[in-house]
Structure 1
Amino acid sequence: MELGSQSLGAILDDANLTRDRRASQQVYDLLRRAILSLQLEPNRPISEQDVANRLSVSRTPVREAFIRLSEEGLLTSYPQLATVIAPIRMEALLEAQFLREAIECATAERAARIIDEDGIIRLRAVLARHSAALQAEKWPEFHLLDEETHRLICEVAGLRGLGRPVEQARGHLDRVRYLTLPELDTSRRVVAQHTTVVEAICEHRPEDAREAMRVHVRDLLPRLEGLRERYPDFFEEKPQFARRAAAR
């Protein structure tokens, strides 16, 4: 499988920041998406000044974006040495998995109890688009529609505000999920699981919706160790920065 690693220039040089949103938010969004999609691979150095130069902004909004990404565990800073894309940490993965399962299973159950006709139409529409993206093997679109499905379930359940903590929890899982793309069997299984969840919600079967969501969000767990063995550099911190820091 070919991963999507790109140069920082390829990611940022064509980006155009707009005046209608805070620059720090736009920098954060650009970098976060590149990190989660593995365009920026774990343990790769990244500098505030380089990002600022490529986006033609001051270092202040870039620093703010770096702080947010560090708080989410997506960047690691070694004082006086370097900032790197954080490695994928098993502890963070398992914590994210626990949080996501607790929220999303309860959300699916609630959605099944209260969904209306408009919600049914919207959920089935996004499911159809997700299936179409799979058939066309449009992987970036496939991934975005996966996120949209889960976000929409929160909205249908009347719990729109829970989308943000779920999205942050998914961030740690998404990099691992990108290691499985494009794997047709995995992607087909995702769509099949979404179909089971969505139909249970649309048919007002809350217990079935909860269980179907549980099966779905746990799907990646049995594969974690195998992926860690296959991509050890993504999961393990490069020690050279820490050694240099200790020597000073």
Structure 2
Amino acid sequence: MQFNLRTQPVSTRDAVYMQLKEQILKLELVPGTPLSENETSLLFNVSRTPVRESFLRLAQEGLVQVLPQRGTFVSLIDTGLVEEARFMREQLEKAVIRLACSDFPEAFLARLEENLSNQQECIRKKDDKSMFELDEHFHRILFEGCSKSNTWSLMQQMNAHLNRSRMLRLVDDHNWEHLYEQHRRMAEAIKLHDSAAAERIMSEHLALNIADQALLKEKYPNYYI
């Protein structure tokens, strides 16, 4: 399969970088996968320069590891970085949902409801990639509705390892009803201006990552460090 990036409204370098990053985050390139500049340039129909630059950029983000004399690989999921990102996310998300319970525009409530409806469709279809995107979008709506979009963007810079672990959880187990139910209860708490309930549900929701990661590391030991 070959990718044509020439029609992308960004530079070739950025298009290669974004495509590779998406493949890594969505586990289309699993942890430990060897990466070749030559093969990747042929796959994307580009020169080796944007591929090399993309590899370096991804290495700076901790998604790619360059080992002298051995080659370039998709990095393993670092459990320490997963926990640190989860800790940061928990503090920020609890603060944001408290704000949402105080003042959250109707237009954003409608977006949450639409998102929840789409989550139900994903559960029916067992579409793990779309479910991950909807999960992310649900939380992003909370930040946007509280005028904290920049906070969301900064948080995302630390989420790469956490997001891969979350994606692996969705791929491994398609029983997502509890995720949907927690999201639904969050939206309901916001409507009722019940900040105590909203914060409690958010904590329960994000705490799932702790138990999930232990199980995933046992089941997929070659994916983790």
TM-score, normalised to structure 1's length?
0.83
- Residue in 1 aligned with 2:129? 140
The one-letter amino acid paired with 2:155 is V
Cα deviation for residue 142 of structure 1 reads 1.3
Aligned with 1:117 (options 106, 110, 119):
106
Cα deviation for residue 165 of structure 1 reads 2.8
The one-letter amino acid paired with 1:140 is K
- Residue in 2 aligned with 1:79? 68
Cα deviation for residue 208 of structure 1 reads 2.3
- 1:124/1:45 Cα in 2 relative to 1: closer, same or farther (>3 Å)? same
The one-letter amino acid paired with 1:224 is Q
Partner SS state of residue 169, structure 1:
coil
Deviations 1:23-80 (A, max 9, x none): 2222122111211222111111102232222212233322332222112211111124
Report if the CA contact (8 A) 2:29-2:74 is conserved: yes
Q: After TM superposition, where is structure 1 displaced by more than 3 Å over at least 4 residues in a row?
A: 14-17
Partner SS state of residue 84, structure 1:
strand
Matches within 5 A, 1:95-134: 95-134=84-123
Aligned length: 224
Report if the CA contact (8 A) 2:101-2:193 is conserved: yes
Structure 1 residue runs without a partner (length 5+):
1-9, 237-248
Matches within 5 A, 1:53-202: 53-182=42-171, 183-185=173-175, 187-202=176-191
- 1:15/1:181 Cα in 2 relative to 1: closer, same or farther (>3 Å)? farther
TM-score, normalised to structure 2's length?
0.91
- Rounded Cα–Cα distance in structure 2 between residues aligned with 1:17 and 1:191: 38
- 1:86/1:119 Cα in 2 relative to 1: closer, same or farther (>3 Å)? same
Deviations 1:134-167 (A, max 9, x none): 1222222111111111111110111111222333
Report if the CA contact (8 A) 1:107-1:154 is conserved: yes
What is the identity percentage for the equivalent residue pairs of Structure 1 and Structure 2? 30
- Rounded Cα–Cα distance in structure 2 between residues aligned with 1:81 and 1:68: 19
Partner SS state of residue 219, structure 1:
helix
The one-letter amino acid paired with 2:118 is R
- Residue in 2 aligned with 1:246? none
Matches within 5 A, 1:198-237: 198-236=187-225
Report if the CA contact (8 A) 2:86-2:209 is conserved: no
Partner SS state of residue 66, structure 2:
strand
Report if the CA contact (8 A) 2:27-2:164 is conserved: yes
Q: What is the root-mean-square deviation of aligned Cα atoms in Å?
A: 1.8
Structure 2 residue runs without a partner (length 5+):
none
- Rounded Cα–Cα distance in structure 2 between residues aligned with 1:122 and 1:225: 33
